[in-house]
Amino acid sequence: MQSLTNRSKQVSKKEMTFMEKLYLPAILGGMRITLSHLFKKKVTVSYPEQKRPISEVYRGQHVLKRDESGAERCTACGLCSVACPAEAITMTAAERKKGEEGLYREEKYAAVYEINMLRCIFCGLCEEACPKEAIFLTDRIVPTEFERGDFVYGKDKLVEPMDKNLRVDVSVRQTKGVLEFKQHPQYAHNKLWDPNKAIKSKKSAH
Ligand code: SF4
Ligand code: SF4
């Protein structure tokens, strides 16, 4: 059959010569290539001590955001999970109890929220799907682990710290183009949350 690339080679079944049976010429040829690389410019870096510069909108480890007052933004709607092509996200919803308003912004919240980093392909569709501006990818690289179970990230690793100084800044991902996109009536559900409007609408509902 005609190959698509024209790079196919006919495999030879001829008997090996005495020199080929010694394997020495092949070993020396391999050593010559290895030694020649010692004097070439390295293309690798000693990660993690040395890091390459990456884009500000690099798609790395996720963060579950809190709002301005520190309450978790996620309402466990499941849209990120449905949008995820790798089925990497699972969650369990719970109902907010009286007195927990400072912890969870909505009446329903994610009691359990997990992302399997081994399944994730860092496509960013979960971020696109979220109507609450709750999940974002960041420029943090997921560290290596020895156990598969350690790659399943729960809320302890995903939710950003309560301390305002330790919050994960995702403002750089909100480029002018993204903000304009979210203004489109078709994507109105994805608009940034305006606390003043939320307070007004709550008052008008009473
Ligand atoms: S980045 Fe893509 S693959 Fe990873 S959890 Fe989000 S939607 Fe799924
Ligand atoms: S992160 Fe966003 S899309 Fe996913 S469950 Fe929470 S609110 Fe819904």
Residue list, ligand 2 pocket, CB within 6 Å: 74-80, 91, 129-130, 132, 134-135
User: Using CA atoms, how far apart are residues 40 and 194, in angstroms rounded to an integer?
Assistant: 56
Mean pLDDT score of the chain, rounded to an integer?
87
pLDDT digits (tens, 9 = 90+) for 86-118: 999 999 999 999 999 999 999 999 999 999 999
Tokens 């997921």: give the residue: 142
Binding site membership of 124 for ligand 1 (Cβ less than 6 Å): yes
Contact by Cβ (8 Å): 103, 164: no
- Looking at residue 72, the DSSP 8-state letter turns out to be B
Residue 172 confidence (pLDDT): 86
- Looking at residue 144, the DSSP 8-state letter turns out to be P
**E strand or H helix at 21, and its extent?**
helix 18-22
Which residues, listed in sequence order, are joined to residue 110 by a DSSP beta bridge?
A: 93
Residue 1 confidence (pLDDT): 62
The overall longest dimension of the chain from CA atoms, in Å, is 95
In this model, does residue 204 exceed pLDDT 70? no
pLDDT digits (tens, 9 = 90+) for 47-56: 889 988 988 8
**What are the residue ranges of helices labelled H in the chain?**
18-22, 24-38, 79-83, 125-129, 155-158, 176-183, 195-205
Q: How many of the other CB atoms lie within 10 Å of CB of 120?
A: 22
Please compute the mean of the pLDDT values over residues 135-155 and round it to a whole number. Answer: 95
In this model, does residue 197 exceed pLDDT 60? no
Tell me what percent of the residues of the chain surpass a pLDDT of 90. 61
User: Using CA atoms, how far apart are residues 36 and 47, in angstroms rounded to an integer?
Assistant: 23
Q: Where are the domains of the chain?
A: 62-205
Architecture of domain 62-205 in this structure? 2-Layer Sandwich (3.30)
Nearest ligand 2 atom to alpha carbon 78: 5
CA of 146 to the centre of ligand 1 (A): 22
